[in-house]
Structure 1
Amino acid sequence: MMLPAVDWAQPWLAPYRTHGEAAAQAAHRTSVASALQALKAAPVPDFVHQDHLPAGQSYEAHIFQTRTVPTRDNLHDFFNGLVWLAFPEAKRRLNELQAAEIARTGIGATRGPLRDALTLFDENGAVLDAPAALWEALMARDWATLFVTRRALWSDARLLVFGHALLEKLVSPRKAATAHVLLPLPDADRSAALDDAALARTLAPGRLAQKPFVPLPVLGVPGWCADNARPEYYDDPKVFRPRP
């Protein structure tokens, strides 16, 4: 399997680089599933080829029931596997909630609010550890304050791209790439924001059904794009949209 070239020096790939480089090299000789399987440790489920998923079976229900992750030979599933390796507790929690909803309501034309939110975070989510002033500006969609006036505060901030579809998009970065950032719980400990077990504990169904996310164009983050060193980079209302 020949994966597209990935620039592992990009800052959003830092949590995944060690496993990613090793798995990408191995995938050239074998399948993506086998490359990921060689790197897994408990409590990560086994990675198996996509043909292990029976026809008509729900993907999320199958993972929950078999503790295996059907994996295709493509970049999307490659990044999904890397997130499983880096954040197994959070991924397992998302899967448990998806499987419980499928068992409760079945598979229909629409997912419903909880499964929509679970899928959104799994595919496109991010977690931000940042000073209160940055959170206030982000919530207000005050991009000038967030990225220009308060730019120095980003030295005390960390953004984790969790969603594997977003990681796939960022292989060919585009200015409009936007994460759905999970809002912190009131009085949450900042130091635990990017911790796997702590993140898993915040993924409560009642909270997620309310879609507690705020959009963040990730290439606006200082250091994530050379062009954003110029303040006028943010004068683009198609990307840095005002709050509705």
Structure 2
Amino acid sequence: MAAAGLTVWQAPAIDWAAAWMTPWRAWGQALWRQVQAAQSRASAPTAVVATVLQAAGWAPVRFVPQAELPAGVAYESHIFATGSVPTRDNLHDFFNALVWMRFPQTKRALNRLQAQAIEAAGGVGATRGPLRDALTLFDENVLLLQAPEPLWQALRARAWKPLFGALRPLWAQAQVVTFGHALTEKLVQPYKSITAHVLCLPLPRDLPPDPGTGPHPWDAWLAPRLRADWLAAKPYTPLPVMGIPGWCPANEDAAYYDDTEVFRPPRPARPAGA
């Protein structure tokens, strides 16, 4: 129990059986149990998440308490220079750590690009700029998709009715990964309007299946394809993730997709010369 007057972070419950937790379940569930157990023993605010994650030793970086980030030093620059990830006691940083464990090469590539962009700008400015903004979107909210080409065509066109109607059977052949740790955090308490940024880079269908632990099979393929010039153009397309078959019982009803506040039609094309 916490001592009187002290506030100790309470580790929330997570539905590890949810479809979107598949890539994170094997390691994440075991680690989260350790976090909850450590939290129940804490008598004062402590760096529980960082301590548990570091003890696991499953990542190419060190997880350290947030207090180890020096004042005035950018978070991304600190990771790049030291290999240490400042970590708070919250879900956001816990899921960030799971991505480091399963996508180490991709996370290193993103961190390198962030650190280089910060250095080129002479530090963290009032605005991120196109590249850093795109990298932040990737890190926080990207969804990776391996799917048949007809699904990709409908997704890019935001043709929601075909995507989740006539083409619905093809979703059985699709694989998705909620790479963005903020995206996965939102899904702990899911709601209809959660929208991911799908990376417009179709993953080959012949990549090995995910064993659930160790580096994800997509990691080594993805990391070397992340170029600064391409990412600065924000190569993403939106996807309201609760529309994915199997992710929400309500989407079995076709009327679920009639909500244009969530499943928004494509923007009208601009007139030539506009």
Q: What is the 5 A alignment of 1:27-66?
A: 27-28=35-36, 29=38, 31-41=48-58, 44-66=60-82
Q: Paired residue for 1:206? A: 229
Q: CA RMSD in A?
A: 1.4
Looking at structure 1, the residues matched to 244 and 26 of structure 2 have their Cα atoms a distance apart, in angstroms, of: 23
8 Å contact 1:40–1:85 — kept in the other structure? Answer: no
The aligned residue for residue 80 of structure 1 is 96
The 8 Å contact of residues 129 and 191 in structure 1, kept in 2 or not, is answered as no
**Gap runs ≥5 in structure 2:** 1-8, 40-47, 209-216, 268-274
Which sits farther off after the overlay, 207-216 or 16-25?
Answer: 16-25
Task: Give SS of 2:96's match.
Answer: helix
CA distance in 2, matches of 1:79, 1:3: 13
Alpha-carbon distance, 1:53 to partner: 0.3
2:137 aligns with 120
Using the alignment, how far apart are the partners of 1:148 and 1:34 within structure 2?
46
Q: Secondary structure at the match of 1:47?
A: strand
Query: What is the CA-CA distance between 1:208 and the residue it aligns to?
Result: 0.1
Unmatched 5+ stretches in structure 1 = none
Shifted more, 198-207 versus 171-180: the winner is 198-207
Q: Is contact 2:146-2:204 (8 Å) kept?
A: no
Q: How does 1:92-111 map to 2 (within 5 A)?
A: 92-105=108-121, 106-111=123-128
Which structure has the larger Rg?
A: 2
Kindly indicate whether the alpha-carbon contact (under 8 Å) linking 2:178 and 2:184 is maintained by their aligned counterparts in 1.
yes
Aligned length: 241
| C-alpha separation in 1, matches of 2:101 and 2:141 | 17
Separation in 2 of the partners of 1:240 and 1:107? 35
Equivalence for 1:11? 19
Q: Which residue of 1 aligns with 2:186?
A: 169
Q: Distance in 2 between matches of 1:117 and 1:136?
A: 23
Alignment of 1:107-186 (within 5 A): 107-184=124-201
Cα distance change of structure 1 residues 96 and 62 upon mapping to structure 2, 3 Å threshold: same
User: What corresponds to 1:191 in structure 2?
Assistant: 206
In 2, distance between residues paired with 1:169 and 1:191? 30
Cα deviation for residue 38 of structure 1 reads 2.1
Superposition deviation, residue 236 in structure 1: 0.4
4+ residue runs over 6 A deviation = none
CA shift for structure 1 position 41: 3.2
Task: Tell me how far apart the structure 2 counterparts of residues 191 and 178 of structure 1 sit (CA, whole Å).
Answer: 27
One-letter amino acid of the structure 2 residue matched with residue 20 of structure 1: G
Contact in 1 for aligned 2:16/2:29 (Cα 8 Å)? yes
What's the secondary structure of 1:149's corresponding residue? Answer: coil
Tell me the CA shift for residue 62 of structure 1.
0.2
Number of the residue aligned with 1:22: 30
SS of match in other structure, 2:51? helix
TM-score normalised by the chain length of structure 2: 0.85
Q: Matches of 2:158 and 2:225 in 1, distance apart?
A: 24
Q: Distance in 2 between matches of 1:139 and 1:25?
A: 39
Alpha-carbon contact 1:127-1:160 (below 8 Å) kept: yes
